[in-house]
Amino acid sequence: MAIISTNKQSNSETRSRYYRNGPDHGAGEHIDFVHVRRRFDFCSIEIGRWVTRAEREHAAGLFYDALCDLMLILQGPEPLISLRGSLSLQYGIGGRPGVSAHYNPASRSFSLAKNAGPGSIAHEWFHAFDHYIASKAIMGASTRTFASRAWLDNAPPVAHPMNTLLFDCFSTILLDASGQQPSTLFTASAAADRQLNTLYYSQPEEMCARAFEAFVQDATIKNGFLVKGTKATKEAELGLYPQGEQRLQINAAFDRYFRTLGAALQRQG
C-alpha cells in the first residue's frame, strides 16, 4: 500500500522542478489547498504542523496539476478523482521511515510525506480506487476489501458491464493470455519477493497499482510528480512493472475501462 522509497516562490516556479507537459490548469491563478479541495470535493485535506507555508504552497500547486492531469488521462470528471468525495488527502502527516506515500483503508486517506520524492500519487490513488470500487464490484465486500485481491480469490462479482471491463484489467495484469496461469508480471514479482524474503511485490493490489502507474506514465500527458519510474529503474529492470506486449494490453484494458467509466460519470453530471 506504500511507495518504498525560505524565499517565497510562485507556483509556476516551484512546479517547474518536476517535468510535465500538461496544460496550465490554474490559468495563472495562485493555487492553494483550498482550490484543490473545492475543485475535486475531497472529504478533507490535512497538512502536518511541521509543514512551512512555503512548503504548503509548493505542494498545493503540485497536487493540483497532478490531479488535473490524472483526470484528463482517465477521461473522467472531478468526482472520479475524489471517489465521489470519499477520499481524504494528507500532506506531511504520519510519515514512516523509508515510506514516501501510503493509502490508509481505515480512514480512506492518501498521504504524502513532507519530503517525499515525486511520482507516488498514481500508485496510491489506484489503491484508493481499488478499495473504493470493491463494494460496487464484489458481492459482500467488507470495508477493507480490495477489488483486485477479491477478484483473484474468486469472490462473487456484482454483474455489471462496467465490472466486466474492470475484471478484464485485473485478468490482463495478473494472468497470462490463457487466463489460467500467472502473468509475466506476477512471475517476476514473486521472484523478487523470494529474493527479498518478503511478500509485497506479488500481492495483487500492489501489482495492479504498479500496472496503473505504467498506464499513467505512458499517457500523452506527462507529470513527474504524478508518476515516474516505471521504465528506467531497477524495479523496471526486474520486471516489476509491465513490459512489452503485456504492458500494451494492460494499457488498452485500462483505457477502455476508464474511458467508459468517465463517460458514464459525465452523463450522470
Using H for helix, E for strand and C for coil, what is the string for 49-111? CCCCHHHHHHHHHHHHHHHHHHHHHHCCCHHHHCCCCCCEEEECCCCECCEEEEEECCCCEEE
Q: How far apart are the C-alpha atoms of 199 and 189, rounded to whole Å? A: 9
Interval 198-227: pLDDT, tens: 999 999 999 999 999 999 999 999 999 999
Q: Is the pLDDT of residue 131 over 60?
A: yes
Q: Say whether pTM exceeds 0.85.
A: yes
> What band does 117 get if pLDDT is binned at 50, 70 and 90?
low
- Are the C-beta atoms of residues 113 and 134 closer than 8 Å to each other? no
Q: For the residues 107-125, what does the mean pLDDT come to? A: 85
Interval 144-179: pLDDT, tens: 999 999 999 999 999 999 999 999 999 999 999 999
Q: Please give the C-alpha separations between residue 228 and each of 17, 126, 265, in angstroms, as whole numbers.
A: 14, 15, 28
Q: How far apart are the C-alpha atoms of 24 and 166, rounded to whole Å? A: 31
Q: How far apart are the C-alpha atoms of 147 and 75, rounded to whole Å? A: 21
Say what the alpha-carbon torsion angle 39, 41, 46, 47 is, to the nearest 10 degrees: 0
Query: How many degrees, rounded to 5, is the angle at CA 225 between CA 38 and CA 10?
Result: 65
Closest by Cα among 116, 167, 134 to 2? 116
Residues 6+ apart with CB under 8 A from 244: none
Q: Mean pLDDT across the chain, nearest whole number?
A: 90
Helix (H, G, I), strand (E, B) or coil at 47: strand
**Beta-sheet strand order (sheet of 88-91):** 2-4, 99-104, 109-112, 88-91, 44-47
> For residue 111, what is its C-alpha cell?
498521504
Q: Is the pLDDT of residue 67 over 50?
A: yes
- Are the C-beta atoms of residues 158 and 139 closer than 8 Å to each other? yes
E-strand stretches of the chain: 2-4, 44-47, 88-91, 99-104, 109-112
Q: For the residues 71-88, what does the mean pLDDT come to? A: 97
The residues facing 182 across adjacent strands are 175
